[in-house]
Structure 1
Amino acid sequence: MARPVVGIIGNQHLINDQYPAHAGGAMNSEAVATVADCIPLLIPADPRFVSVAELMECCDGFLLTGGRPNVHPEEYGESPTAAHGAFDRARDAIALPLVRACVESGQPFFGICRGFQEVNVALGGTLYPEIRDLPGRDNHRMPPDGTLEEKFALRHCVSFTEGGVFHRLLGSRQVMTNTLHGQGIKSPAARVVIDGTAPDGTPEALYIDGAPGFTLSVQWHPEWDAANDPVSRPLFTAFGDAVRAWALSRRATPVLKTA
């Protein structure tokens, strides 16, 4: 069969601070195509152009990417402040109901950074606007200077639950990851299982309790060097396997019983 399709949730973007565009990092597409072995399809995350039902029909799985805009705090019952940064309400209007629909249907998704936070908010959780301002927490933001290699360098460990989903998948209770985020989970949603944390206690890995499909999501950026990184590769491979299984199940032709 043809490779299954992974919809990559894009972000609103202005080219030269003037020309509106929908954007998605090339490394997301590369990880989906070369490691997950699926067709990457950039989604304009705006309800004016697409609906959740249409996306679920034309895509086999979804990658909820990172991005500079944050989930609007009104989505989790708080008022916006300067610390909450920029927003993309159009993406909120697509990504949050899409997460809820996929959780119930079993259609696979993989959340990354903002996507990790979207999963929590979609199911009723809340976020901190700025992790580095909290007592005892580290600065998880991307280094302001340096090459891409330096910005995406491994900076802290993530510890997983003994015998948990991530421990079993990655074969280790501790891994090293990059860190390029300002916000983080404050209160996990009722069905969100925090399966990995940074040394300062920041949630870094989750899945949805009782969900019938692939719901793994991480706060770091595994799309960076995904083909070679020993943590990123199994995550994207497992995601691709789940997407292929979904695609096969939805394309299966029922066997007709004969008399």
Structure 2
Amino acid sequence: MTRPVVGIISNHHLINDSYQVHAGGVMNTEAVANVSGCIPILIAADPRFVSVDELLEVCDGFVLTGGRPNVHPEEYGEPETPAHGDFDRCRDAIALPLVRACVERGQPFMGICRGFQEVNVAMGGSLYPEIRDLPGRMNHRMPPDGTLEEKFALRHKVSFTEGGVFHRLMGAPEVMTNTLHGQGIKTAGARVVIDGLAPDGTPEAIYIEGAPGFTLSVQWHPEWDAANDPVSRPLFTAFGEAVRNWAASKSARLLKSA
């Protein structure tokens, strides 16, 4: 039986300052293939090449990955400043309407880091450009030096709402996660439920209230060691199950209409 298809949203990069590519981390591919049990397909996140309607038909679910470029502040009604960093407006043009369409259809998606922020912005929320500059907040950014193991090491706790969605999924009220982000949620979008917080109050886990499909999104990077990490594995496993259910329901609809 063919595995369902998960579209992995890519980022735009320049190799050697001249060669343009759409790229995605191999860790995301491994997590989708080996833990979620789905076919990973890298999406060129650019409206010149793909449309949201096409993606919704081709893919059964989506992973909104992390990435260095940030969501442009115009998407949440604020002016651009140097603190907002680099942008990928083409990805904004695909990812934000894709989130809204998936919420409406009940099609599964998981937001990771930038993807977590995209989910909030897509639902009308806003972002802080730099969390570490806020009073009482810790530095959530990736360590500038060290091995990958050191950069993705577990660095702080995330506390979940008692009896909430993430608490039930993880089987624990509190977990340890890595942290590699500069921006974070300022105001939550409509129906965005903040279900997990870092010790300094930074939102770390969200879902969309009343959405018929899987919408769990996290500010940390669960794709790191997803097959073995006790926090990452249940997240990608539950996502894969949701994608399989969507694919099965799509097949049933097609058979019924045939």
Q: Which residue matches 1:154?
A: 154
Aligned to 1:136: 136
Distance 1:235 1:205 in 2: 11
Counterpart CA distance in 2 for 1:78 and 1:229 is 37
- Residue aligning to 2:49: 49
Counterparts of 2:16 and 2:174, CA distance in 1: 41
Aligned to 2:256: 254
Question: How many Å separate the matches in 2 of 1:80 and 1:21?
Answer: 25
Q: Cα offset for 1:190?
A: 1.9
Quote the residue 2:5 is aligned against: 5
Task: Identify the residue that residue 23 of structure 1 maps to in structure 2.
Answer: 23
How far apart are the structure 1 equivalents of 2:95 and 2:189? 16
Opposite residue 131 of structure 1, the aligned amino acid is I
Query: How do residues 1-259 of structure 1 correspond to structure 2 at under 5 angstroms?
Result: 1-252=1-252, 253-254=255-256
Structure 2 alignment gaps of length 5 or more: none
Cα distance between partner residues in 1 of 2:124 and 2:152 = 30
Deviations 1:91-111 (A, max 9, x none): 000000000000000000000
Separation in structure 2 between the aligned mates of residue 196 and residue 49 of structure 1, nearest angstrom: 36
2:52 is matched by which residue type in structure 1? V
**Equivalent-residue separation in structure 2 for 1:95 and 1:251 (angstroms):** 25
d(CA) in 2 for partners of 1:210, 1:16: 45
Q: How far did residue 254 of structure 1 move?
A: 2.1
User: What is the alpha-carbon root mean square deviation over aligned residues?
Assistant: 0.9
One-letter code of the match for 1:40?
P
Structure 2 residue identity aligned to 1:179: T
- Share of identical aligned residues, percent? 82
CA deviation after TM superposition for structure 1 residue 17, in Å: 1.4
Count of residues in correspondence between the two structures: 256
Structure 1 residues not aligned, in runs of 5+: none
Q: Cα offset for 1:14?
A: 0.5
Give 1:255 shift.
8.9
Q: Name the SS for the 1:135 alignment partner.
A: coil
CA 1:255–1:161: 2 relative to 1, 3 Å:
same
Amino acid at match of 1:19: Y
